[in-house]
Structure 1
Amino acid sequence: MRHALILVLCLAMTPLAAQQTGTPEDIEEGVDLLSEGARRLLRGLMGEVEPQMQEMAEALKEWNFNGIGIDDLGQYHPPEKLPNGDIIIRRKTPLDVPMDDEIEI
């Protein structure tokens, strides 16, 4: 009787084992749907953020770097924070100091 019960259980489970979890085409279609959803989400976010980015770009164009002594941002390294909390911005090439004929002692 015990062997018959085990045989019935094994035969009942064989259709479950024979079922496939998904064909490669189904998996590929799922990946395509996920990528399309992500694309739509990012496009929607860009549509919401774009006006603020345009405003920020205009504000940065109007900002006067000459008033603070910076003529071209490309001539400077990124800001560094020192251990004491100071923030410095180093030049990539030091300024040329005009040399006079006289030497100060």
Structure 2
Amino acid sequence: MPIAPMPAISPYNRLGAAYIQGMKHLAAPVLALSLIASPLAAQDEEPPSLMEQGAKLFLEGLMKEMEPALQELESMTDEIEPMLKDFAAQMGPALTDLMGKVEDWSVYHPPEMLENGDIILRRKTPEEIQKIEEANPEIDL
């Protein structure tokens, strides 16, 4: 079979040939860097033990059992959220004022509701405060 004559080299072919020659010189370093930078083949993991499988199955079953209760809780919180926002909007200023007046809540008894509906906060006597301080000494950390 006769060999076909080579076509005349145009300036575009010369640039293309030079580009390809440059790429050939870059191919080896790029290949070497890609092999170095690629993650090593991961070792095969051992299958989970029977204890791990049992724990996983237990937790999956627990999640399935809890799902209806969690959905019910979510719907209940959706109902309560507007009421809590309204409560915070109405009571927020009064609670802020009360927090500014009370420096230490530990010197007060829990709130009490009287028969007429009033809520009172009784201050502890100095003797009661002293007993609490003696029972719970401060700890230096």
TM over 0.5: no
Q: What TM-score does the superposition give when structure 2 sets the normalisation length?
A: 0.32
Q: What TM-score does the superposition give when structure 1 sets the normalisation length?
A: 0.41
Q: Which entry has the higher C-alpha Rg, 1 or 2?
A: 2
Greater RCO structure (CA 8 Å; 6+ sep): 1
